[in-house]
Amino acid sequence: MSDTLRTRTFGHRIHHYSRAASTNDIAYKIALEGGEEGEVVVAEEQTRGKGRGNHYWFSPPGGLWFSLILYPQKILSSQVPALNLLGALGIAITCGKLFPTLSSQIRWPNDTVIGDRKVGGVLCRAKCKKDKAIFVVMGIGVNLNIEEFPPSLCHTATSLRKESGHTVEREAFLQILLEEMEELYIISQRDFSSILERARLLSSLLGKQVTVQMRQGEIKGLAQDLDEEGNLILRLESGIQTRITPEEGYLRL
């Protein structure tokens, strides 16, 4: 792939594993030991793939499971969750390029969906010093050719194979995704607002009534906007606007 990859740094060094507990854990260790920006850890299967909170990511053979090392400039620890949106946007754009008839969108804060079913997701983990991020490991999972999901996921998850009827070549998808991701990342370092604008355009939530599970209980309202850090602006039934960070709540589906 390196012969045809059109990126500056992303994917120029790839660590391949047939099986790994978590590519994020491996990439984090590589970054701690001085790994370079753009290094990628790919596994054909994850045994302990991680999702948000205490959720796990179903990562059998047939999907694309990888982590990307980033050294974003001048990013605060509070801004790291916004990179989840960047990753989800990259997945949606790649899906749209390869399968233009499929409607790929992003679902705040870190999912890519086709219809209302999740096809991909992003989980960023950062090494921080005080309030500044030293490096970020962006974990990405995309359901490429998975045919069967466990009962807990069969109504909420899908794959590109199931949606398109075609087998997806993993290396080709990874190459296009890395190229799209690097372009978005370079833009984000200059002006993150343009990334947010594209995220708004591809959002599956904005303008819809949603339910958010908070620590203190559920709240319902209109998903009105994303703020400058990628947090969800919810307009409650009372008319009051409230800001929800990814750490504070998650969508009830």
pLDDT in tens, 40-73: 999 999 998 877 656 677 999 999 999 999 999 8
| Angle (CA) 105 88 25, round 5° | 150
Say whether both 224 and 112 belong to one domain. Answer: no
Q: Is residue 77 part of a domain?
A: yes
229 and 123 within one domain = no
Q: Are residues 118 and 216 in the same domain?
A: no
Q: Three-state SS string across the chain, please?
A: CCCCCCCCCCCCCEEEECCECCHHHHHHHHHHCCCCCCCEEEECCECCCECCCCCECCCCCCCEEEEEEECCCCCEHHHCCHHHHHHHHHHHHHHHHHCCCCCEEEECCCEEEECCEEEEEEEEEEEEECCEEEEEEEEEEECCCCCCCCCCCCCCECCHHHHHCCCCCHHHHHHHHHHHHHHHHHHHHHCHHHHHHHHHHCECCCCCEEEEEECCEEEEEEEEEECCCCCEEEEECCCCEEEECCCCEEECC
Q: Can you give the CATH number for the domain in which 185 is found?
A: 3.30.930.10
Average pLDDT in the 90-112 region? 97
User: Residue 103: its pLDDT value, please?
Assistant: 95
Closest by Cα among 55, 5, 46 to 25: 46
Mean pLDDT of the 165-180 span: 97
Residue 9 lies in a domain: no
Domain assignment present for 126: yes
- Same domain for 119 and 243, yes or no, is no
6 lies in some domain = no
Domain that holds residue 117: 14-201
Indicate whether 98 pLDDT > 60.
Answer: yes
- The reported pLDDT for the residue numbered 54 is 61
In a shared domain, residues 145 and 187: yes
Domain presence at residue 23: yes
Query: Pairing between strand 64-70 and 40-43?
Result: antiparallel
CA distance 68 to 76: 19
- What does the pLDDT average to over 19-45? 97
User: pLDDT tens for residues 223-247?
Assistant: 999 999 999 999 998 999 999 999 8
Q: What is the pTM of this model?
A: 0.95
> Angle of helix 192-201 relative to helix 170-190, nearest 10 degrees?
130
**Is 41 part of a structural domain of the chain?**
yes
Mark whether 33 and 77 lie in a shared domain: yes
User: Would you state the pLDDT for residue 35?
Assistant: 98
Are both 84 and 150 inside the same structural domain?
Answer: yes
- How large is the average pLDDT for residues 127-131? 92
Distance CA 168, CA 127 (A): 34
In a domain, 164, yes or no: yes
Residues 194 and 226 in one domain: no
80 and 102 housed in the same domain? yes
Question: What would the mean pLDDT of 201-210 be, rounded to a whole number?
Answer: 97
pLDDT band at 252; cut points 50, 70, 90: confident
Mean pLDDT value across the chain: 94
**Which pLDDT score is estimated for 4?**
87
Q: With the CA atoms of 189, 242, 250 and 32 taken in that order, what torsion angle do they form, in degrees rounded to the nearest 10?
A: 30
Query: How many domains, the chain?
Result: 2
pLDDT at position 2 is: 60
Mean pLDDT of 64-85: 93
- Domain CATH for 227: 2.30.30.100
Residues 241 and 169 in one domain: no
In a shared domain, residues 232 and 118? no
Greater confidence (223 vs 253) lies with 223
At residue 7, what is the residue type? T
**What tens digit of pLDDT does each residue of 2-11 get?**
678 999 999 9
Question: Could you tell me if 25 and 99 lie in one domain?
Answer: yes
Residue 98 lies inside a defined structural domain of this protein = yes
